[in-house]
Structure 1
Amino acid sequence: MQGGSRLWILAAYSSSTPAQLFNMTNKYFFLLGIYYLMLMQGCSPAYEEATHIFVGGNIYTVNPDQPIVEAIALKENQILFTGDAADVHGYMGPETKITELRGKTMTPGWIEGHGHFMGLGYSELNLDLSDTRSFGEIADLVKAAAEKTPKGEWIVGRGWHQSKWTESPGKEINGFPLHHEISRVSPDHPVFLYHASGHAGFANARAMEIAGLSPLGGEQMRDAMELEGGEIIRDENGNPTGVFNERAMGLISRHIPESSPEKDIQAFELAQEACFRNGITGFHDAGIGAATLELYRQMKSERKLKLRMYLMLAGGQKEWLEEWFLKGPEIDSLLTIRAIKLSCDGALGSRGAWLLEEYSDRPGHFGHETLPMSYVQKIAELSLQHGFQVCSHAIGDRANKEVLDRYQAALESLKGNIPDHRFRIEHAQHLHPEDIPRFAELGVLPAMQAIHLSSDRPWAIDRLGEKRIKEGAYMWQALLQTGVPVINGTDVPVEPINPLANFYASVTRKTLQGKPEEGYEAEQKMTREQALKSYTLDAAYGAFEENMKGSLEVGKVADLVVFDRNIMEIPEAEILQTKVVLTVLDGKIVYQQ
């Protein structure tokens, strides 16, 4: 008997109840007995020998022709067989490793359809504000960081969201507090705290002084107030409150020292480990620059990159994009570069999303167009000519309509000779009802993050009002019914990387506290099958990779995840208690609980 199999038996016996042991022993030795019977008869395996076989669990393939199977066999990094347990014995050989799932659930490896990989890594290194529930808590965390940070060094954090606070911060301007409390606890340190959405930031007095934007006002500061595509929130005297919205964030962030190569590598490794712990085997990185790309290439050359990365080039660097248009996409099973990310508006939480009608809770304000629409159309036309996909960030209904219009104009410029472009809109969070069918008509894919509903819906109604929420916000089922796939994800670090929380949001449309009882706009819920597909096969389709991964089919890469519960059948509340117990990427175990 193979050494690995002997170790497996010992481990299984030591951790099983008598009933589990009886069932496990019967299944395992049934298969093993068939194999030894073949050896005694002088037979060799009837088929190609597998390197690893999984049996004894619930295996959901996301293959419509064979949705559930009893066993799966791998040959190195590819799937060799899927089917009944009784048929897998022909793939057993003397070196085959056999894993009994013991009732656990296997699916294809999950794909983060829209996230920020280095942001995930740095969220584990910088000040984490995601659990704060008041402005006072934030001030306390900044004070604690200042006490252990050398004077003059920057304190950077992310994750605050004013609409999630349970206590009033005191005086507010446009829904945001003033900087004074943060400045009081950190007089010797410049501080910049990114909003959970990444579309706004909070600076203390020292940071504004370094940027030449005196919190007491002045001509230089007043000139900066007119920044196009962004906003400095000011008090009644015209002084900055500390909140910098959209493109105005650059006035502060450009002064934050660049990270060191050593710290970048540390963040990369932390992000990759976090993905594996959560069953993520693929990642769509939504907007990277040249330096980040070189880091990824370095990690690949040093064999440290194991995650499958699909990269979107940051679209604001025109000269860089022109270089890529000349050389064309790079397609690889680990590191693919064939998409361009365009940021066309802001976030709903910071009132930066670009709306057709004014904000319900800020009359006269419509959000921000953060990129000229003429530029969007030009990049779309060039991308069609050079084989690139365009992925445009659009949250508000005005931004979504404008991007769809520019995509349509670019496609019409081809005069019927339209390639398989799979242009995307990232977030597609709030749509005008007339624009919902246009996604399918134009072949545009919505990349939506279901977890945003759980986090945002309780306060989003204040921004949009009931009518706009019900007719056009988080319209998953309405889009699916048009025939267009929906790509799921978390937008990490805006939300935690945990895909099970996202799966729960997809099928319940509730907050993670289980409210409301029936879910928000329950008719837009995904089925569990739709939600699983949105995180696997549909996400693979969104990266032109559906023939390589996204489902458990013979010939596809061996990317798998095993959960301790059957997420397709358990009660809704148990989904959030489910754990990843095993992640397999390219046929190798990269995480084991």
Structure 2
Amino acid sequence: MNRSLRLSLLGLLALAPAVQAADLLVNNVNGYTLDSHGKLQQFQALLIDQGKVVATGNRADLAKRAGNAKIIDGHGHTLLPGLIDAHGHVLELGYARNRADLIGTQSLDEALAKVKAYAAAHPDAKWITGGGWNQEIWKLGRFPTAKELDAVVSDRPVWLSRVDGHAGWANTAAMKLAGITKASQDPPGGRIERDADGNPAGVFVDGAMALIDPKVPVPTAQQKAVALDTALAEMASVGLTGVSDAGIDLANYRLYRQYADAHKLTARIYAMILGTGDDFDVINKNGPLIGYGDDFLTVRAVKLFADGALGSRGAAMLQPYSDDPGNRGLLFMKPDEMTAKIGKALGKGYQVAIHAIGDRANREVLDSYAAAYKLHDGKDLRNRVEHAQIVSPQDIPRFVSLRLIASMQPTHATSDMNMAEDRIGHDRMQGAYAWQRFLKQGTVVAGGSDFPVESPNPFYGLYSAITREDHHGQPPGGWYPEQDMTLVEALRAFTLDAAYAEHAEKTLGTLEPGKWADFILIDHDIFKDAPATLWNTKVLQTWVGGKQVYTAHD
């Protein structure tokens, strides 16, 4: 071959698109992803190799680069990065679906009918357990009572958690089994609801739930596995490819390890150890677990609680509740104890995430982080405040100086708007569900749901974030709409920033080259269609690490 011909051929080869190592091409899609700076990008095809993104781009260009890769036709459907829930409870979701499920009940009578039907369908169950009740939706103006439960189940103990997990409802049999009497005292951080004569009425708030909980049979290994399978299937069906599991014990940890080893996890779990006690010491024997099983399991955070919930008036407030002037809620621990627990976790290299709903609890958490930082390195561990629901406006800037992530749940705002202002009054609403106040000062807002307190469907969260309306469009224009997010901000909260809150923004959260190919196909273009349609988005396919884990059936 003469020199001029050889140079010509080399020139043509240089112009030809290179065939890249790839085993999958998802073609013909209406693709969206953020880049690492949070800017929205569009594409028509996604090239994948060994579970990771090779490139996104033009259909024709990537087809030429795909070589012998398997081709999936996206049929023009919208493709998004897999959504990440920054605060959920995986096994609790499975348990909720397999027990007496009162979520969404509209009245006390409807809830009681469900309990009665469940008990009839499970005659061999020694206890009737479940939850999801919400007396605010029932418009009772009070908590339900043991006597009301006795009317439908009296032959066995019944124990039902409130929708937020911060109160439990027992029948008389359960209270007798636990030895609860008129003489029983409120434990620290808890409250026994009582009738006019001072007798326990049947509802136990926050720390008082521990008076009943130890009597409830522990789930068997099979029940735990069924719960995990149930939860993973539901998560895949709504487009969740990852979750920060906000509070696991040693048994949960071991189950997750087993599932990771058997390649049975269909979503990436970032698990927070509940507390810094014995379970933490065992789990931490070899230090944090990072990226186990191809990044399906990471355990490098600790979950603590500062207070209860707003709906049960257990959230710790600086001033009394507007609708209960004698009550300021409940703090779960003293400041020195919280500081010590933060310090223990930081000292072992664990991120700390603390549940704080009320403005007093949030202030205590901020003070305890500041105190712990004086004694330990750990400011760079991306520590978090879970919920940051009602924060004094003067405390919000402290999230910046303390480098804290605000892990917030948009659906809490639209679920709570029927009672929040009654609880705390108009003035305190300035620091409540204040997403834009945090975003504008540069605080990372990680989006979640707190499932099963709320639905695990992340499109409910995206809808609430951008509209602050319920699914009927109420109130028109949104509830305190100045705190709305844009759709890009909301998508970022449930992708890139949820990944950042897990120390995983280099591998998850966007569809950039080198990251895991976690993505979903949905039934419409959320960036072009009316916001009112967002909550009703249907997931058609869910893929994790380049493998399909869910397909919708007609």
Q: TM > 0.5 between the two?
A: yes
Once the two structures are TM-superposed, the CA of residue 323 in structure 1 deviates from its matched residue by 4.6
Give percent identity, aligned residues only.
40
SS at match of 2:212: helix
Given the alignment of the two structures, is residue 163 of structure 1 paired with residue 161 of structure 2, yes or no?
no
Q: Which amino acid aligns with 1:566?
A: D
Unmatched runs of 5 consecutive residues or more in structure 1? 1-40
Structure 1 residue 387, shift from structure 2 partner: 1.1
- What secondary structure, in the 3-state scheme, does the structure 1 residue paired with 2:187 have? coil
Q: How many residues align?
A: 534
Given that 2:269 and 2:298 are in contact with CA atoms closer than 8 Å, whether structure 1 keeps it comes out as yes
- CA shift at 1:365, angstroms? 0.4
- Cα 1:208/1:284, change in 2 over 3 Å: same
Structure 1 CA distance for aligned equivalents of residues 121 and 55 of structure 2? 56
Contact 1:163-1:459 at 8 Å conserved across structures? yes
1:484 is the counterpart of 2:443: yes
| C-alpha separation in 2, matches of 1:390 and 1:542 | 11
Q: 1:170-181, aligned counterparts within 5 Å?
A: 175-181=142-148
Tell me, yes or no, if the aligned pair for 1:151 and 1:188 is still in contact at 8 Å: no
Equivalent residue runs for 1:572-587 within 5 Å: 572-587=531-546
Greater mean alpha carbon deviation, residues 56-65 or residues 291-300: 56-65
Post-superposition Cα deviations, 1:326-380, rounded to whole Å, max 9, x if no partner, equal 6321101111111000011000000000000000111110000112321221122
- The farther-off stretch of 292-301 and 323-332 is 323-332
What CA distance in whole angstroms lies between the structure 2 residues aligned with 1:472 and 1:326?
Answer: 40
Secondary structure in 2 matching 1:67:
strand
Q: Distance in 2 between matches of 1:159 and 1:110?
A: 24
Among 31, 45, 48, which residue is 1:71 paired with?
45
Following the alignment from structure 2 to structure 1, what is the Cα–Cα distance between the partners of residues 327 and 502?
36
Q: Does 1:387 pair with 2:354?
A: no
- Which position in structure 1 is the counterpart of 2:521? 562
Distance 2:220 2:279 in 1: 23
Correspondence for 2:127: 154
Contact 1:152 1:188 in 2 (8 A): no
Partner of 1:120: 93
- Write the distance in 1 (CA, Å) between the matches of 2:476 and 2:320: 31
Find 1:397's aligned residue among 352, 359, 362: 359
Cα deviation for residue 577 of structure 1 reads 2.3
Partner of 1:14: none
Shift of 1:440: 1.6
- Name the counterpart of 1:376: 338
Q: Which runs of 5 or more structure 2 residues have no equivalent in the other structure?
A: 1-12
Alignment partner of 1:53 is 2:25:
yes
Shift of 1:419: 5.0
Instruction: Find 1:110's aligned residue among 61, 83, 91.
Output: 83
Query: Is 2:487 aligned against 1:515?
Result: no
| 2:164 pairs with 1:202 | no
CA contact (8 A) 1:80 1:554 kept: yes
Q: 4+ residue stretches of structure 1 with deviation over 6 A?
A: none
Map of 1:253 onto structure 2? 213
SS in 1 for 2:332: coil
TM-score by structure 1 length? 0.87
d(CA) in 2 for partners of 1:328, 1:127: 38
How far is the alpha carbon of 1:152 from its aligned partner?
A: 7.0
Task: Give the partner amino acid of 1:298.
Answer: Q
Residue 327, structure 1, aligned to residue 286, structure 2 = yes
- The amino acid that maps onto 1:46 is A
Structure 1 CA distance for aligned equivalents of residues 518 and 83 of structure 2? 8
Aligned mates of 2:89, 2:163 — CA distance in 1: 13
Work out the CA distance in 2 between the residues paired with 1:148 and 1:588: 38
Counterparts of 2:392 and 2:115, CA distance in 1: 41
**Residue type matched to 1:392 in 2?**
I
- SS of the residue 1:163 aligns to: helix
- Is 1:93 paired with 2:67? yes
Aligned residue number for residue 31 of structure 1: none
Residue of structure 1 aligned with 2:411, choices 448, 451, 468: 451
| Residues in 2 aligned to 1:564 and 1:236: alpha-carbon distance in whole angstroms | 54
User: In the alignment, what sits opposite 1:431?
Assistant: 391
User: Residue type matched to 2:300 in 1?
Assistant: R
For the 8 Å contact 1:151–1:189, the answer to whether it is kept is: no
Moved more, 274-283 or 100-109: 100-109
Query: What's 1:35 paired with?
Result: none
SS in 1 for 2:421: helix
1:290 maps to 250
Change (3 A) 1:239 1:151: farther
Q: TM-score normalised to the size of structure 2? A: 0.93
Q: Could you list the per-position Cα deviations for residues 478-516 of structure 1 after superposition, in whole angstroms to 9, with x for gaps in the alignment?
A: 100011110111101101111111110000011222100
Counterpart CA distance in 1 for 2:210 and 2:450 is 21
Residue deviations 1:382-429 (CA, integer Å, cap 9, x gap)? 333221100000000000011011111111334xx6552100000111
Match of 1:466 among 426, 439, 447: 426
* Residues 1:120 and 1:567: Cα distance change in structure 2 (over 3 Å): same
Question: What is the rounded CA distance, in whole Å, between the counterparts of 1:163 and 1:227 in structure 2?
Answer: 25
- For 2:548, the equivalent position in structure 1 comes to 589
Q: Distance in 2 between matches of 1:266 and 1:283?
A: 18
Following superposition, the deviation at residue 325 of structure 1 comes to 5.4
Matched, 1:212 2:179: yes
Contact 1:45–1:92 (8 Å) recurs in 2? no
1:204-225 CA-to-partner distances (Å, cap 9, x unmatched) read 01111111114xx3xxxx2x32
1:312, 1:151 → 2: CA distance? 34
What corresponds to 2:57 in structure 1?
Answer: 83
RMSD over aligned Cα, in angstroms? Answer: 1.8
Mark the CA change 1:280 to 1:123 in structure 2 (over 3 Å): closer, same or farther.
same
Structure 2 Cα separation of the partners of residues 90 and 378 of structure 1: 58
User: Which deviates more, 327-336 or 296-305?
Assistant: 296-305
